[in-house]
Amino acid sequence: MTEVAVVAFAQAPNVRRTHGTTNGVEMLVPIFDEVYTRTGLSKADIGFWCSGSSDYLAGRAFSFISAVDAIGAFPPIHESHVEMDAAWALYEAWLKIRMGEVDTALVYGFGKSSAGDLRRVLSLQLDPYTVAPLWPDSVSIAALQARLGLESGRWTEKDLAEVAARSRRDATGNPRAQFGGETDVAALLDADPVADPLRRHDIAPVTDGAAVIVLASAERARDLADRPAVIGGIEHRIDTPSLGARDLTTSPSTRLAGEAVGTDGVEVAELHAPFTHQELIVRDELGLGDAVRINPSGGTLTGNPMFSAGLARIGEAAQRILDGEATRTLGHATSGPALQQNLVTVLERG
């Protein structure tokens, strides 16, 4: 079957609030231009388009339709959409190329998280009979998960603050990160909790943003990038939606997806962890040792554009190969509450 490679990645600046619309056009047009310039492709060369976004962020039905304006969809295009992080749109596009239907695909995700009250909006992804009617917000659910790990000795508050400090330090090298800088772990731990036991630094910021990845068959990819990042494996798994029925300090779906793609020899991993303790869970389930460089971009804790943050992790992992800095990297994306659903991809120098 056809091998598939990432040939270009771009993302909009991660910002707390854009003046743009919820249809994302203002964020998407410039980053589409970036990947067209880098690959020499034009819209007419793209065989398949696939996006990830959510009407719940926009507060409007079929909001993703307006985003198609950013493409210039005439003559008509071959297009699809997932109401999930665009990492899952990338999976669909990967299948299209694997099956030989097309040899190029453009995948994009976007979201204006600031339009509503994000943590409250996200409670509507929960079970609509017994959980969502209580409006438990995303931060509180993550806090329940964090406490289980703290009280079982699985991690300490200092472990969590160290994840935050490393992320912020690394983000200083990422011009598109929402914030970054040197921080002192002790100073972070001095802050009061905002959702006990979570402190501000444990929680990813609210972020407006967008990201785009261009995929091509391995054969086509050689003409589009000097060092295409070949997708060596991509798998996704899901755990039960019943929060109280699983051990929240583990993520079996991440472990199974990781085992299916094989994580040995990975040099760099970009993990989609909107809370500090979730990075520790994912890292452990994927068997990533101390030698693996985690989130050199600063990760989701320094910019969490809903519905494109997972795609951006794959993009950042691919970029290390496109730039010639690494030969085997890993991108992870999550969806749902408390790491319910997870996608893992391994990228390799072609």
Residue whose C-alpha is closest to residue 231's, from 251, 255, 214, 256: 214
Nearer Cβ to other proteins (296/337): 337
Which residues, 293 to 332, sit near other proteins by CB under 8 A?
A: none
Interface pattern 222-251 for other proteins (x via CB under 8 A):
------------------x-xxxxx-x---
- Interaxial angle between packed helices 157-171 and 276-285, expressed in degrees from 0 to 180 and rounded to the nearest 10: 90
Q: Closest distance between other proteins and the C-beta of residue 331, in Å?
A: 27
Strands (E), the chain: 4-11, 48-52, 79-82, 104-112, 208-217, 229-238, 268-270, 293-294, 328-335, 341-349
Q: Count the residues of the shown chain that bind other proteins, applying the rule CB under 8 A.
A: 61
Nearer Cβ to other proteins (50/269): 50
Q: Closest distance between other proteins and the C-beta of residue 216, in Å?
A: 20
HSE-up of residue 32 (Cα within 13 Å, Cβ side): 25
Binding residue for other proteins, selected from 83, 101, 190, 196, defined by CB under 8 A = 196
- Piece in contact with other proteins (CB under 8 A), picked from 118-126, 178-186, 213-221, 291-299: 118-126
Binding residue for other proteins, selected from 3, 34, 79, 137, defined by CB under 8 A = 137
Q: Closest distance between other proteins and the C-beta of residue 251, in Å?
A: 15
d(CA 120, CA 316): 29
Strands (E), 57-171: 79-82, 104-112
d(CA 227, CA 302): 28
Q: Is 204 in the site for other proteins (CB under 8 A)?
A: no
Q: Is 59 in the site for other proteins (CB under 8 A)?
A: yes
Q: Is 47 in the site for other proteins (CB under 8 A)?
A: no
- Piece in contact with other proteins (CB under 8 A), picked from 170-178, 192-200, 258-266, 275-283: 192-200
- Piece in contact with other proteins (CB under 8 A), picked from 51-59, 168-176, 258-266, 319-327: 51-59
Binding residue for other proteins, selected from 16, 40, 69, 181, defined by CB under 8 A = 69
Sheet arrangement for strand 208-217:
79-82, 48-52, 104-112, 208-217, 4-11, 229-238, 341-349, 328-335, 268-270, 293-294
Q: Which amino acid is at 53?
A: S
